[in-house]
Amino acid sequence: MTPEEAVMTQESDASMPDVAQSGVSGPGVSESGAVVDGMTSPGPRIDVSGAAMGHTRADTQTVFRCDDIHVYYTDFLALRDVSLDIAAHEVTAFIGPSGCGKTTFLRCFNRMNDLIEGARVEGSINYHGVELYQDEVDPVEVRRRVGMVFQKPNPFPKSIYDNIAYGPRLAGAKRSELDDIVERSLTRAALWDEVRDRLKTSAYGLSGGQQQRLCIARAIAVQPDVVLMDEPCSALDPIATGRIEELIAELKTEYTILIVTHNMQQAARISDMTAFFSVQANEMGQRTGELVEYAPTSLIFTNPEDPRTEAYITGRVG
């Protein structure tokens, strides 16, 4: 995938107006009102604990701690200065208009951006105390712990069984364990009852919603710690979407879930924390995404701090 394609595929809906250009907020002014000169100075750290806003999240553990993340595609700055913490066993949603870098940001967490020629991540992502972007870290091992579900269901051209068993086999699971793993994963993804009699048939025979649940089952079959979901429902009808949303709510008891969504109602329904990204064009017309606001979902949808967030969620833009 070329960098251009990567930017293009992040959002299919290019008609969405740009928040930054709507004049809600002047360029270079961060949410706390401090003037940020260019891209070098660190942005204000956004408090995740929520305690300041009367929200108690005392028993949560931090899985990812991101500091000053900048993502470049060759020379193009796609995402600027993101700092936030991700808490364990919560659903964290990334929302924002087209091209705001939310998918780019999501792909930082399992080093998926490594696969894009020219993509470069600067800053620090700390995963349980380990710096993800250092030479000693094996990206393959990262992806085993941080699984991913993609925008379009992408099962392997294999049987349902082999789709689930693929990851565990790579990780060295014994043949005798595979049946159990397949059943457990499919059950967990609420698909077992529908496919138990046709495990050996092609995964392409499933409906779109079933394929996406298969992809979720495939992701959790390797027992990850975190599951990244990149607009997992955008290709699905409302009923299939509802099933995936139920599933996400169940899965968060075991996994930490990061989800990119276009659908604000979906973010409101399923997430505990919401990060709102916006996009700002520089004088050369390059559009760089940035984090505007990160807060508990209940707060961001009822009492957003930043006028840009409010404009977006109330539908005045986007």
Partner 1 sequence: MTVLTTPAGIATGAADALRKRPGADVAGSAFKWLLIGATVFATGFLAVLLAVMIVDGWDVLSGNLWYFLTHGFSQRSAGEAGVWQGILGSLQVALVTGVFAIPTGVATAIYLVEYAQGNRFARIVELNIRNLAGVPSIVYGLLGLAVFAQTLRGFSGGTTAIAGGMTLAAMVLPIVVITSVEALKAVPDSLREAAYGVGATKWEVLSRQVLPAALSTILTGTVLALARALGEAAPLILVGAATGFMSFGDANVFETFTGPYTALPVLIFNFARQPGADWGVNAAAASVIILVLVLAVNGLAIYLRNRFEKQW
d(CA 203, CA 160) in angstroms, rounded, equals 5
Closest approach of partner 1 to the CB of residue 19, in Å: 29
Closest approach of partner 1 to the CB of residue 222, in Å: 6
Give whichever of 151 and 274 is closer to partner 1, judged by the CB atom. Answer: 151
Closest approach of partner 1 to the CB of residue 119, in Å: 12
Give whichever of 79 and 142 is closer to partner 1, judged by the CB atom. Answer: 142
Closest CA to 17 of 270, 277, 317: 317
First-to-last C-alpha distance (Å) of the chain: 27
Closest CA to 59 of 86, 88, 93, 92: 88
Give whichever of 20 and 221 is closer to partner 1, judged by the CB atom. Answer: 221
Give whichever of 231 and 290 is closer to partner 1, judged by the CB atom. Answer: 231
Closest approach of partner 1 to the CB of residue 202, in Å: 9
Sheet containing 287-296: which strands, arranged edge to edge?
A: 130-131, 119-127, 62-73, 76-87, 287-296, 273-281, 91-95, 256-260, 226-230, 146-149
Token pair belonging to 67: 């500091």
Give whichever of 5 and 250 is closer to partner 1, judged by the CB atom. Answer: 5
Alpha carbon distances (Å) from 181 to 149, 156, 203:
18, 18, 17
Burial of 254 (0-12, 13-18, 19+ CB in 10 A): middle
Closest approach of partner 1 to the CB of residue 2, in Å: 7
The partner residues of 76 in beta bridges, in order of sequence, read 73
Q: Which stretches of 33-174 are DSSP H helices?
A: 102-106, 139-145, 160-170
Give whichever of 82 and 227 is closer to partner 1, judged by the CB atom. Answer: 227
Eight-state DSSP code of residue 197: G
Positions touching partner 1 (CB under 8 A) are: 1-2, 110, 112, 115, 117, 140-141, 143-144, 147-150, 152, 154-157, 166-167, 170-171, 204, 215, 218-219, 221-222
d(CA 151, CA 11) in angstroms, rounded, equals 10
Closest approach of partner 1 to the CB of residue 143, in Å: 5
d(CA 248, CA 269) in angstroms, rounded, equals 11
Closest approach of partner 1 to the CB of residue 266, in Å: 21
Closest approach of partner 1 to the CB of residue 148, in Å: 4
Residue 258 · residue 228 · CB < 8 Å? yes
Closest CA to 167 of 154, 157, 181: 181
Give whichever of 50 and 155 is closer to partner 1, judged by the CB atom. Answer: 155
Closest approach of partner 1 to the CB of residue 209, in Å: 17
Give whichever of 16 and 235 is closer to partner 1, judged by the CB atom. Answer: 235
Give the residue carrying structure tokens 């701690």. Answer: 65
Give whichever of 223 and 263 is closer to partner 1, judged by the CB atom. Answer: 223
